[in-house]
Amino acid sequence: MFQFVFSRVYCVNRVRRKWKEFEKTLGCAEEGHASLGRDPDWASYTLGVFICLSCSGIHRNIPQVSKVKSVRLDAWDEAQVEFMASHGNDAARARFESKVPSFYYRPTPSDCQLLREQWIRAKYERQEFIYPEKQEPYSAGYREGFLWKRGRDNGQFLSRKFVLTEREGALKYFNRNDAKEPKAVMKIEHLNATFQPAKIGHPHGLQVTYLKDNSTRNIFIYHEDGKEIVDWFNALRAARFHYLQVAFPGASDADLVPKLSRNYLKEGYMEKTGPKQTEGFRKRWFTMDDRRLMYFKDPLDAFARGEVFIGSKESGYTVLHGFPPSTQGHHWPHGITIVTPDRKFLFACETESDQREWVAAFQKAVDRPMLPQEYAVEAHFKHKP
């Protein structure tokens, strides 16, 4: 009995030592150095990788590929320990991530479950980054299929045909299967896509935004199959990547990849008042998208009720805690004032925590110098009350 316990402890300690030996492999194998500080106390003893608790649950869902144990709590036999010792995260990345396209989205710990799950399945189950021919669904430059799209007026999700064509530089959708003309044409140049499962109410919910008459238009879509919607997401990123390569021929992949899609800096409810600051404050849903602060009556509205451009401090933009003296009509106590060259915008937050987060998001934009193209956006921007 003593020998069995000693052997088990010895094996577990060898696995732990294997993890500590290599600084380059610190972190979860699925999230790389983005997960430093998280505890990857789990391991796939069939793949030879160390993973965090969150990713271990996904690995358990593909038992035909990955079998998982706790480094600290489970029993390990000699063969399993030897396998881990001869593999590791770096070796797995070298094999299973050898041909990841530059545009393919690599999830972070803060991303939704769907993105992390499909990344793991693409790597190990489908081996898409070993065999490039398996990347055709999102790298071919053309994709069409049916997605569930939320109606602008009635809020119902209906099946709609979508076509993505890099040759035309557009994503289109059609209201009828036999329609010859699309209902909407979204130029790749101004398109963004971000997963919003909680807002849309579906684990595969994707929000696509584009500019129409210099105002932001939202559409909300999903597909029942997780792989399908993630393939659409990466196909959109591929189209943006190839567009930007042509638009900025001297730019490196590292320069272009951050511009392929973006998550919002901040979203949530605040109260706002009108330009005269004498009207009562009204509760609105706000979205901070890069330098555009948009507000909606409902989070799933197709169009914003108004948009505010947040420029840099060099251009006369300032963010202040609190309201100007004698401000009235707000129900929530924690105020924010944004000073622009044209006017002041007043907002009220329900909690002090919300106020701090919004101020931080605004300040991040104000502190960042404006790019040449952002001056053009500012010049044509329409401030809406």
**Per-residue pLDDT tens over the stretch 330-373:** 999 999 999 999 899 999 999 999 999 999 999 999 999 998 88
Q: Facing residues of 184 across strands?
A: 173
Predicted pLDDT of residue 27: 73
Predicted pLDDT of residue 31: 74
Specify burial of residue 7 (Cβ count, 10 A radius: 0-12, 13-18, 19+).
Answer: middle
Q: Cα(383)–Cα(385) distance, rounded to whole angstroms?
A: 7
Closest CA to 323 of 313, 312, 332: 332
CB atoms within 10 A of CB 202: 20
Predicted pLDDT of residue 20: 57
| Residue located via tokens 């160390």 | 50
Residue 297 near residue 305, CB atoms below 8 Å: yes
Specify burial of residue 42 (Cβ count, 10 A radius: 0-12, 13-18, 19+).
Answer: buried
Q: Cα(166)–Cα(140) distance, rounded to whole angstroms?
A: 9
| Residue located via tokens 């608790």 | 53
3-state class (DSSP) for residue 219: strand
Closest CA to 326 of 383, 384, 385, 273: 273
Q: Cα(318)–Cα(366) distance, rounded to whole angstroms?
A: 7
Across the 385 residues of the chain, what is the mean pLDDT of every consecutive 10-residue run?
Answer: 43 60 61 56 92 92 94 88 89 95 94 96 97 96 97 92 97 91 95 97 97 89 98 98 95 95 96 84 96 95 93 95 91 96 94 97 96 82 50
* Structure confidence by residue, pLDDT tens digits, 297-324: 999 999 999 999 999 999 999 999 999 9
| Residue located via tokens 């998208």 | 289
The two tokens of residue 19 are 């993890």
Q: Facing residues of 347 across strands?
A: 272, 336
